[in-house]
Amino acid sequence: MNDENRPKTMDQKNKELREKWDKLHFDSQQGRAGEDPYPTTSDSLRIPLYATKSYAYSSLTELLKSHYFYSRTENPTLYALDQKLATLHGGESAVSVASGMAAVHLACSSVLQQRVDRARPKKLKVLLPQTNPDYIPNVIIHNNQYTGVYRLLTKIYSQIGVMTKIVDLTNLSELKNAIDESTKLVFVETPSNPNLDILDIQGCADLIHEVNGKCIVDNTFASPALQKPLKFGADLVVESLTKYVNGHGDTLGGVIIGPKIELQNIRYFWLETQGAVMNPFSAWLILRGCRTLSLRMERHCSNALKIADYLESHPKVVKVIYPGLKSHPNHELAKKQMKAFGGMIGFELETVEKCYKFIDLLKLIKVGVSLGDTTSLIEYTSVMTGIDLASWEKRRMNMSNTHFRFSIGLEDSNDLINDLEQALKKI
């Protein structure tokens, strides 16, 4: 790195670069933001993979002026990814971490802590947690939500005194009734996993802001190519980069996007302490995934719409859920919040027996958990994502035992439809 680009100028440089990247359209931002220009020692077109645990300087003075100390908090490859994701979301700052669940955990930790402002060396303001036995915050989540987040809140955070209320967030009056003076957070996942419920981000954010609480939006199913929750009043956005943003199914990752002060708190207190760091190779892969995000999303969405139409007209399919269908109860809201309706479809067959039979008959479509990949993946929800939940919890989270969650890949939609057709014919 030359002197001009040394970390002491990082803040100023960031600001100038952000102004430049903010002027571009999304399709250009996804390739350029965070990368062009990038302060490298060579003229390599692509961001180097910085496989280093720490950074060494010729003097203490130089070290103290530096942005980079230790790769648990900063790494130049991750730096490029953070810049790119902050730009794509229109957020001030971003922190990439090891997985989507790590992102959820760090974001919730930061929002739920009781804070004391502390100034740290290097001009960083960190909000340290305070211990007060009377502080019992509560969190509100939707009654259909990624099971990992449900588990984190109801089985781990509950042990440190955080109470989780589960309500129907598609109905804002339920949210209004559930909020009290101890409510610190409403966690909004939209579209929701697995039922593809569409939640009103602006409506939820407005209500929680009335009691000075925060709204975190899990944007995993949409990606920034389809939905930018900060525009609708979300305080923080979390995403599993494992899914659409990386898009190639070859690594895990997560990100938190939001205001600089909150993100500094997450990076320099929570991440530094908890250690859920993204590997630089993952960052490098995800940077590559980002460069084609909007193109891939276009195909995911157009394939999904064709397949949802096909399934809706099939006599053996009893229910199809896709936010792009007029039959979806929140289709209008989806149109307002999302650029297109995503690559995920839910559908149900008549009986459990037929479900078991159907899934084993598929040939091209792979059976597997996760989503957002080039390869189409289907899961039998209640026995795959829902495997860790007791039957009463599945009922509480509205998980049907005849439901399939279908992640539509980038194959030709005719091939996918042919595969569904031959399997449906035999049940």
With CB under 6 A as the contact rule, the residue among 97, 101, 108, 305 that binds ligand PLP is: 101
Q: How far apart are CA 30 and CA 291, in angstroms?
A: 5
Of the candidates 99, 82, 100, the residue with the CA atom closest to the CA atom of residue 91: 82
Q: Which residues ranging from 359 to 418 are in contact with ligand PLP (CB under 6 A)?
A: none
Q: Name which of 86 and 104 has its Cβ closer to ligand PLP.
A: 104
What amino acid is encoded at 340 in this protein? A
Q: What is the dihedral of CA 256, 96, 197, 333, to 10 degrees?
A: 60
With CB under 6 A as the contact rule, the residue among 82, 189, 235, 348 that binds ligand PLP is: 189
Interacting span for ligand PLP (CB under 6 A) from 96-104, 109-117, 308-316, 373-381: 96-104
Where does residue 13 rank: exposed (0-12), middle (13-18), buried (19+ CB within 10 A)? middle
Q: Sort strands 344-349 and 163-167 into parallel, antiparallel or unpaired.
A: unpaired
Interacting span for ligand PLP (CB under 6 A) from 97-105, 260-268, 298-306, 328-336: 97-105
Contact (Cβ atoms closer than 8 angstroms) between residue 344 and residue 325 = no
What x/- string results for residues 110 through 149 when contact with ligand PLP is judged by CB under 6 A? ------------------------------------x-x-
Q: Does position 419 bind ligand PLP by CB under 6 A?
A: no
Q: Does position 7 bind ligand PLP by CB under 6 A?
A: no
Closest distance between ligand PLP and the C-beta of residue 218, in Å? 5
Of the candidates 187, 168, 203, the residue with the CA atom closest to the CA atom of residue 238: 187
With CB under 6 A as the contact rule, the residue among 40, 77, 190, 220 that binds ligand PLP is: 220
Q: How far apart are CA 408 and CA 220, in angstroms?
A: 15
Contact (Cβ atoms closer than 8 angstroms) between residue 139 and residue 184 = yes
What x/- string results for residues 243 through 272 when contact with ligand PLP is judged by CB under 6 A? ---------x-x------------------
Contact (Cβ atoms closer than 8 angstroms) between residue 237 and residue 217 = yes
Is the dihedral angle over the CA atoms 269, 272, 273, 279 positive or is it negative? positive
| Chain residue at closest Cβ approach to ligand PLP | 100
Interacting span for ligand PLP (CB under 6 A) from 52-60, 98-106, 131-139, 306-314: 98-106
Q: Does position 100 bind ligand PLP by CB under 6 A?
A: yes
- Prior bond of 37 cis (ω within 30°): yes
Interacting span for ligand PLP (CB under 6 A) from 74-82, 93-101, 156-164, 170-178: 93-101
Q: How far apart are CA 252 and CA 295, in angstroms?
A: 21
Owner of token pair 């394939």: 303
With CB under 6 A as the contact rule, the residue among 29, 138, 193, 376 that binds ligand PLP is: 193
Using CB under 6 A, list all residues that contact ligand PLP. 99-101, 104, 146, 148, 189, 193, 218, 220, 240, 242, 252, 254
